[in-house]
Amino acid sequence: MHDEDRDLAKRMAQGSDPAFRLFFDRYFPRVYRFCCGRLDEQAAEEVTQTVLINAIRHIGSYRGEASLFTWLCRIARNEVSAHYRRRAARADELSIDDSDEVRAEVDALTADPVDDPDRALDQSRSQALVQVVLDHLPGEYGRVLEWKYVEGYSVEEIATRLAITTIAVQSMLARARGAFRAQYAAMNAEASDFPLAPDTGGN
């Protein structure tokens, strides 16, 4: 029933350049239109390219039970779903990053001095506590939090500095924020006993 599709798939599996060109010419516009009904134009083009590349990689698994276009649409549905999952994950990361109380605590390191003596003392305690927590976080946690919240580096810039992926940086930041919150809360509970430089009274 799908002899022509099976023949095209067989020739592609054998590495035929004309078969590959025919495949792209015939199916790129159709898969693109399919994706456009579910994505914006730029995303649709990117997903379509991914679909066709994945199809070529797995063309040996095509058995001809359905048409080649139907087979491609199944792959496309999976890729569209994956696209929305990635976008949701990025949105969640930004939401957590922007709303996290860690930002407010770490920002204390760069806060302008205040004139009120009592507030100045509180500020000094807070800054000292934050710095101690950052210095004692495991691994790179303290450094990536300082880069992100004090120095204002983007996730991409941190990834370049550490020679890791942006996904790895996001995961590290999430763990670092959790570690910071736990350690800050534990140390803040003993804030009244937190050591500051002694007041020598000018003597």
- Measured CA to CA, the distance from residue 121 to residue 126 in angstroms comes to 9
* Interatomic CA distance for residues 80 and 39, integer angstroms: 8
Give residue 127's pLDDT band: very low, low, confident or very high (50, 70, 90): low
Taking residues 21-47, report their average pLDDT. Answer: 91
Is pLDDT at 197 greater than 50 in this prediction? no
Name the fold adopted by 3-88.
Answer: Rna Polymerase Sigma Factor; Chain: A (1.10.1740)
Dist CA 130 CA 191 (whole Å): 11
Q: What pLDDT, on the 0 to 100 scale, is given for residue 20? A: 94
CA–CA distance, 138 with 128 (Å, rounded to integer): 18
Q: Does 1.10.10.10 match the CATH number of domain 101-193?
A: yes
Q: Where are the alpha helices (DSSP H) in the chain?
A: 3-13, 17-36, 41-57, 68-99, 101-107, 117-136, 141-145, 155-162, 166-188
pLDDT for res 152: 80
Single-letter amino acid, residue 169: V
Question: CB of 140 within 8 A of CB of 172?
Answer: yes
Task: Look at residue 71 in the predicted model and tell me its pLDDT.
Answer: 95
For 45-85, the pLDDT digits (tens) are 999 999 999 999 999 999 888 999 999 999 999 898 888 77
Domain boundaries, the chain: 3-88, 101-193
Confidence (pLDDT) at 196: 43
The predicted structure's pLDDT at residue 175: 84
Which of 25-29, 36-40, 194-198 has the lowest average pLDDT? 194-198
Q: How many CB atoms lie within 10 A of CB 8?
A: 21
More confident residue, 24 or 180: 24
pTM (predicted TM-score): 0.47
- Give the count of alpha carbons within 13 A of 171, CB side only: 5
Q: Is 44 exposed, middle or buried (0-12, 13-18, 19+ CB in 10 A)?
A: buried
Separation CA 115–CA 151 (nearest Å): 25
In this prediction, residue 126 carries a pLDDT of 60
Lookup result for tokens 């799908």: 2
Please name the residues in contact with 129: beta carbons below 8 A apart, sequence gap of 6 or more: 184, 187, 188, 191, 194
Rounded to whole angstroms, the Cα distance separating 169 from 173 reads: 6
